[in-house]
Structure 1
Amino acid sequence: MYRRMYHSWPVGCQLSDRDFGRVCRGVTESHSLAQLNLNLGVVSTINRTKHLADALKTNRSIQTLFLHGSPLLDAGLVTLNTALSTHPLLVSLDLGDCMLGDEALRLICGMLPPDGAKSGLRELTLSANPSITTKGWARLAIAVAHSSQLRVLNLDYNPLGDQIAGMLAVAVASSRTLEVLDLEGTGLTNQSAQVFLDMVENYPTCLRVLVLAENAINPELQQQISDLLSEGEEDDDKESEARCSAGIPTREKTTWVPHSNSHPQRVLLTSGLGESLLAETEM
């Protein structure tokens, strides 16, 4: 089963405003920082959000940004929106448990531009944001259906229910890139599972992993879906091998490795709380 790994601050550690300012200055000045981890409430005030936004507007290297557990609210996303949506390399964004609502989700959908438009996010985490309504999730489903970049979507531990899951199934069927969808603990039933089963059984899809754990779904249904997705992946591999054997150029694989660094010369050394809050090196 697909599982994300969160890299967080050590338990009990806190970052002072002074040190947070130093982090932001480091982000501003960096030319090789690929991943920035501010999980577990580090961005705890609107002033910190503003400092981070200013730093991101200048930075040109970050690809992955973790803000999981920061009490941003919609106002925080409004503050960060320009910096996030215009960043030239940002492809992975974790906004799980950030107390977001429909207005924030509207802005996030702007980071999933339609097919043929500018590049957007490849991985998006919106876990545990229960204030988002059906209207907000419907907007996201439409954006996912037309996004030309998104590979991984994590919506675990949101009270979605079968109605929203049905919308997402349509979005998955329409998407030409989405490979991982995490719906763990989202209040789904066998009704949702049957919809997804019908989709993967009868229609071509890029989906390779669908997480349905901790829902009121028959394990046999979950296994059927998993088996069908695995068969689809095997078929793709066989097709690639056949094309190679025949001397036919293979299609580019679209697999997106979550939280990976696509530029090997850029390495982030984990931020600490001592004298050197930001340490980075170039390979």
Structure 2
Amino acid sequence: MKKFGLMVIAVAMLFALTGVAMADPGINAVPETQGIVTSTAVQAVGTVTETDSVVWQLGFPNLAVPPLDAGDKMYVMSYTESTIADQGLVSYAKGQSLDTANKVAGTFNFDTGKVVEFVGLDTGRMISSENMVLDGAGNGQTTATTYICPFASAVTETIPPFCNIIEVGSDVDVTLASLTTAADERHVMASGDPAVAVDYAIKMTGFGDIPAMGSADAYINAHIQEARTATGGKAEDVVYSEMSTAAGDITLFQKAITYQSGLRRY
């Protein structure tokens, strides 16, 4: 067994979008809020599977049918995970929470993280895929009613129309690996001050001097569209994509992604 193979490190990519007069203000919670918290721990010899799916739509003042009227906003958040660890020694641990209440800086509506260790026996194999999407769009609205910060209106009196979508995730196909992933997002806030945020991180290694064996990738795709005035046309269009891959004997595969979108007030 090789002691050293392919090593890929892609760390700490920051993708921040804050326009001088452009913003992604998030959306306010509905009066009745919900929270879902789960934890999973499995240690087994054989087969372990995990399948998660979340789709959350939230509109203001309601889930309107396009086109959006002035002041209308709509957000759709989705998350999926599919892991199949077959014919091997498996250790799987995951914590996950969904909270539909308004959030402040440093807290998140959706937060998940897992640690998986897999050693395949004979034809043993683990396939694990994870994907998270946040899609937000809104028409013009008044800054004074959207931000707590008293200086926000000095930048722009109205929040221009926007249409922003961010996608992050990873895919792993291995016969031996120690895998850690984490994802979180925030888009529900009493005001737009904390800013919309999406974070994703993955780290895969082997065990001691033995590298992970197989393949891995991690990615970000984003399309940002912003106006400059409440009644003006599109003034900014950003399309961004990035993917990191590794295959073979992998000593380290690591990637971190951070996305923020909000009004620049200075």
| TM tier relative to shorter chain | under 0.3
| More helix per residue | 1
Larger Rg: 2
